[in-house]
Structure 1
């Protein structure tokens, strides 16, 4: 079975014969405006004559830093070719809450590998000017404790990735309810691909049987509710990394396990 990374460049990027990037949520539904206030659209232009367009998701760390997948930015280190948009809901229509920012730096994990299981598929983007954080519109994601596993928790994925393999990007931010599964279950469901490429430390898997991340969702958030009372406590469990070709809903999607990178994130 082939796998893919959830990125959305034109033409599509295939980093090796076994894995490809994911870009859109399959069998999701429209999110409510500002339902995921930490959601970011990472946008790219290949030269200065072009407009920026969505290539990946990303997540607000704080007013000056954005988290995404390393594979979203490894193809071009030119920071002027990227910008981010927060507060958005539609890729084509403005709602008045959008904030656009350029980058001043991008930091890819030094041990990132773009082959096999895409270990350490994580990057921090430094903004050229600070975001204005606004409750319920633009908020930082809550990072997890290093020991948090999220198995069995109520979780959501969100993004502007494709809703069917090789289809167009959706205009409206999509969401889907999902569950984190154990490392052993994920390996079994991925079969030979899981045995070869899955890392218990680097990866966290989701599976619902009815939806999937896809191309264009790369770098976007997996958030889980870890509350023990009636007050929701959403934490960032992962950012989208890879999955099987054609985004089958009967297979897990693989995310970067954020709890393994807390120290690295704090140093960027």
Structure 2
């Protein structure tokens, strides 16, 4: 790939190595342990940080049974790692496209992309969970996502899960770990059709930060970890976005320590970056540190299990919330994404003679000009649409002149968000003189409206809105009793 001056190509670094394989005894359990495989590699643990690995070759089929290929209409575009029969870990930047679920499939047991081999399994994706702190404008931080499969992989000698790290588990600087994928074998080379693995030493945070600070746009992040050889070399190659960085415990199982994210160039050293032009500088391979996002992964995987064992609001036609006040969090956690193809209905019912105040503290629903894709709608008790909301901005508080309303959430198949959180509260009508200021008041009955503090002066920078609803085939008559406002000349 030709690198233009001033451009930051998303290229993922690695080292291709020749590895001698041997077959170890393997007995497949009904519930197999993670991190075990048929074809083992000779251990590289605790080699000197600057040891050079020369040459390269492809791996044998089954060498990385947790490796998956993310495919767009049967074409490989990113890697991923199996962590359970129904969950795959990948990079968030791999699944940014709006309609990705319409064509995304995950293939396990893949080795040669040109042919269908024995042991391959392909499943569609039910939904995607990107880390809520991932920002496409700064895609190197929190670059991680979970794929919930629509179905489950059948574990075999060629399809097995990798282990997640234990809480607090770290691999020290100099520890040699392995990443694998179908990435380019050199910066301007062609894509291989068979799976390759690359072996890289972990860098300490100081070395990682120093290397990244030498780039034209220095990179910082809470979840970044680095691996690679400082002096680069012709034996280095590009890895594969979304794929695993695997570290083997001493005489033990393989741990998913990181997710392949990005790198500057391929096989470029970074020792003398300051002496190079910006577009010639290199970087280590950059990975998302699994230990930094482990709790988020476990929360979302366990939340899915809890959802299966309980009846959520969306599992029934009408969920009634009859209290005078309360909270509604959908889908249940600010870190959890709602699913596609959902229809969720809640009825808020407060004591007779009271009005309802809605106040939103979190709002993240797929944006669209007319909210025709995903939306939260508010209906009166006689089924009139009072408001329809989507996007990422918090709606103003809503005061509704009725003791009962219905909330309806719908989602399509194209995108997703983290839903909404709101508080609702019963209010008596005597607060109406100040209603509509810093909120929207929706009124159904005949009455009197007054500006804030009337008959005293209203406050500066006030923003007061009232919506008056009348039955069908009626008109609304407004009679001004007193109107005084500031004149501008």
TM-score tier, shorter chain, comes to 0.7 to 0.9
- Aligned 8 A contact 1:158 1:221 in 2: yes
Q: 1:201-212 maps to which residues of 2 (within 5 A)?
A: 201-208=222-229, 209-210=232-233, 212=236
Q: Which has the larger radius of gyration?
A: 2
- Aligned 8 A contact 2:13 2:228 in 1: no
Q: Which residue of 1 aligns with 2:311?
A: none
- Aligned 8 A contact 2:65 2:159 in 1: yes
Find the aligned partners of 1:124 and 1:155 in 2 and give their Cα distance. 22
- 1:218 maps to which of 238, 241, 259: 241
Distance verdict in 2 for CA 1:108–1:20, change over 3 Å: farther
Find the aligned partners of 2:203 and 2:14 in 1 and give their Cα distance. 18
Q: Which residue of 2 aligns with 1:161?
A: 183
By how many angstroms is 1:92 displaced?
A: 0.7
- Aligned 8 A contact 2:14 2:228 in 1: no
Distance verdict in 2 for CA 1:82–1:249, change over 3 Å: farther
Query: Matched residue of 2:146: which SS?
Result: strand
Q: Could you list the per-position Cα deviations for residues 221-247 of structure 1 after superposition, in whole angstroms to 9, with x for gaps in the alignment? A: 0001222xxx33211110100110345
By how many angstroms is 1:190 displaced?
A: 3.3
1:244 equivalent to 2:268? Answer: no
Q: Which residue of 1 aligns with 2:90?
A: 68
Q: Could you list the per-position Cα deviations for residues 70-129 of structure 1 after superposition, in whole angstroms to 9, with x for gaps in the alignment? A: 000112343021101111110112221100111111111111012346211111111111
Question: Where in structure 1 are there 5+ consecutive unaligned residues?
Answer: 1-10, 46-51
Distance verdict in 2 for CA 1:249–1:63, change over 3 Å: farther
Q: Could you list the per-position Cα deviations for residues 142-165 of structure 1 after superposition, in whole angstroms to 9, with x for gaps in the alignment? A: 011232221232311100011122
By how many angstroms is 1:19 displaced?
A: 4.1
1:255 equivalent to 2:287? Answer: yes
Distance verdict in 2 for CA 1:121–1:177, change over 3 Å: same
- Aligned 8 A contact 1:106 1:125 in 2: yes
Q: 1:145-156 maps to which residues of 2 (within 5 A)?
A: 145-151=166-172, 152-156=174-178
Query: Matched residue of 1:239: which SS?
Result: strand
> RMSD of the alignment, in Å?
2.5
| Greater RCO structure (CA 8 Å; 6+ sep) | 1
Q: Which residue of 1 aligns with 2:203?
A: 181
Find the aligned partners of 1:254 and 1:23 in 2 and give their Cα distance. 7
Larger displacement relative to structure 2 (182-191 or 167-176): 182-191
1:139 equivalent to 2:160? Answer: yes
Q: Which residue of 2 aligns with 1:34?
A: 62
Q: TM-score, normalised by structure 2?
A: 0.46
Q: Could you list the per-position Cα deviations for residues 41-78 of structure 1 after superposition, in whole angstroms to 9, with x for gaps in the alignment? A: 11113xxxxxx201011000111111100000112343
Q: TM-score, normalised by structure 1?
A: 0.82
User: What is the aligned length?
Assistant: 243
Q: 1:82-121 maps to which residues of 2 (within 5 A)?
A: 82-116=104-138, 118-121=140-143
Query: Matched residue of 1:67: which SS?
Result: strand
Distance verdict in 2 for CA 1:101–1:94, change over 3 Å: same
By how many angstroms is 1:262 displaced?
A: 1.1
Question: Where in structure 2 are there 5+ consecutive unaligned residues?
Answer: 17-55, 271-282, 301-489
- 1:234 maps to which of 248, 251, 254: 254
- Aligned 8 A contact 1:25 1:162 in 2: no
Q: Which residue of 1 aligns with 2:20?
A: none
Larger displacement relative to structure 2 (243-252 or 170-179): 243-252
Find the aligned partners of 1:59 and 1:261 in 2 and give their Cα distance. 15
